[in-house]
Homo-oligomer: A and B are copies of this chain.
Amino acid sequence: MALAKESTPVSKNGADQEAEYRAQTRVWLRLLACTTLIEGELRRRFRDEFDFTMPRFDVLAQLDREPSGLVLGELPKRLMVSAGNLTPIVDRLVADGYITRTPSNLDRRVQIVCMTVEGRKTFRRMAKSHGAWLAELLADFPADRFDGLIGELDDLKGAVRDALQKP
């Protein structure tokens, strides 16, 4: 018959638990390092090349897929940021002429945001560079391992989401 250590233990012993803690911490630190590294470089290039920021780009990216615009309240959900955060960002995008913000006739609490022609043009130009920058930054990572990594990250995201759902 199998020994306890060979079966799937219901509760782990001290050493196993410690080892798993270390592995989890290492995953987190590496995840953070990769993201920080890439994000910093993308932010720098957005700034230098387009005098633009990533949060502004992210808003435009959401609106680019919505020809008829979006209810303002949809943005914080999709971008996973707080609502108050978006107010000044949307303000400035409106002031710069990239998007419009029009109150709904049906519900005066609600506003509809929609990209302008100018906004779409600007976005597409930046999106092209964004893709190229990413390609440049990830060029040394073997192409045949992307799908595997994507799968792992999808599962990780799902696992974290589930864990957050529980309480």
**Stretch of A94-102, A114-122, A129-137 on the interface side:** A129-137
A37 to B153, CA, bound (A): 12
Asked whether A32 lies within 8 Å of B37 as measured between CB atoms, the reply is: no
User: With A134-B24, A134-B25 known to touch, is A34 a contact of B139 (CB < 8 Å)?
Assistant: no
Interface size for A (C-beta < 8 A) is: 51
A93 to B80, CA, bound (A): 30
Asked whether B24 lies within 8 Å of A153 as measured between CB atoms, the reply is: no
Number of copies: 2
Q: A interface, by DSSP: helix, strand, loop or mixed?
A: helix
Asked whether B23 lies within 8 Å of A134 as measured between CB atoms, the reply is: no
With a cutoff of 8 Å between Cβ atoms, the chain B residues found around residue A158 in the complex are 140
A136 to B77, CA, bound (A): 24
Q: Does A41 contact B (CB under 8 A)?
A: yes
Q: Does A89 contact B (CB under 8 A)?
A: no
With a cutoff of 8 Å between Cβ atoms, the chain B residues found around residue A39 in the complex are 32
Q: Does A91 contact B (CB under 8 A)?
A: no
User: With A153-B27, A161-B37, A163-B137 known to touch, is A143 a contact of B20 (CB < 8 Å)?
Assistant: yes
